């Protein structure tokens, strides 16, 4: 899910950036530093939407660097256990399938795929019901539920399930 959140960060700025454009330099450095990072608490920082407040700078002892406390608003994306997401299948194998929802990777193990769906190998590996009416393959869109998350320095990885009511394939690229 996407969130709007206010975060704070101490930015160190080199004296060469001081002057009329100080604030602009500060903001662009903040964007470079923060956007795309990820933490377990907040998830992915997708974009900065505004600066709330830039505090008074403090000169670091021994260097010319100045530290500014910056409060900024940003859009973050974080998956939650129990959340329902629509994701695109990226890879299918006999262990299950991988899907992607925004910057987040989700793995759905074959234990968490309904039992009436069997793995079919071939050029386009897929999970299909015995009557062939439902098929999960690469690029299928599935609605899944997040049951576990793991956060890396640069990535969030989730375990999902489609073995529940109202979960499963939403649209099938093969049928279109």
Residues that bind other proteins (CB under 8 A): 1-6, 24, 27-28, 31-32, 35-36, 38, 40-42, 44-51, 73, 75, 77, 80-86, 88, 100-103, 110-111, 114-116, 143, 145, 147-151, 159, 161, 163-167
- Please report how close the Cβ of residue 159 comes to other proteins at its closest, in angstroms: 5
Of 5 and 67, CB closest to other proteins: 5
Q: Which two tokens stand for residue 30?
A: 């903040």
Structure tokens at 51: 């600066």
Distance, in Å, from the CA atom of 1 to the CA atom of 84, rounded to the nearest integer, reads: 9
Assess contact for 170 and 143: CB atoms under 8 A: yes
Least distance CB 16 / other proteins (angstroms): 15
Return the structure tokens found at 56. Answer: 């008074």
Nearer to other proteins, 100 or 172 (CB): 100
CB of 56 to other proteins, least distance (A): 21
Contact 83, 143 (CB under 8 A): no
Pick 60 or 111: Cβ nearer other proteins? 111
Sign (positive/negative) of CA torsion 160, 164, 166, 170? positive
Largest CA distance in the chain: 74
Pairing, β 141-151 against β 96-101 = unpaired
Nearest CB to other proteins, comparing residues 58 and 170: 170
Tell me the closest approach of the beta carbon of residue 38 to other proteins, in angstroms: 7
């Amino acid at each position: 899910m996407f969130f709007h959140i206010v975060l704070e960060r101490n930015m160190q700025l080199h004296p060469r950036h001081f002057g009329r454009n100080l604030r602009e330099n500060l903001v662009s450095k903040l964007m470079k530093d923060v956007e795309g990072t990820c933490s377990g608490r907040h998830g992915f920082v997708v974009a900065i939407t505004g600066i709330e407040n830039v505090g008074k700078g403090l000169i670091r002892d021994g260097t010319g660097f100045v530290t500014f406390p910056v409060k900024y608003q940003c859009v973050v994306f974080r998956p939650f256990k129990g959340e329902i997401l629509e994701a695109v299948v990226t890879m299918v194998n006999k262990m299950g399938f991988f899907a992607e929802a925004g910057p987040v990777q989700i793995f759905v193990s074959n234990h968490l795929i309904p039992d009436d769906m069997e793995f079919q190998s071939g050029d386009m590996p897929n999970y299909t019901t015995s009557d062939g009416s439902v098929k999960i393959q690469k690029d299928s869109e599935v609605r899944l539920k997040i049951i576990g998350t793991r956060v890396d320095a640069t990535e969030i990885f989730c375990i999902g399930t489609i073995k529940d009511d109202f979960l499963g394939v939403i649209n099938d690229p093969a049928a279109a």
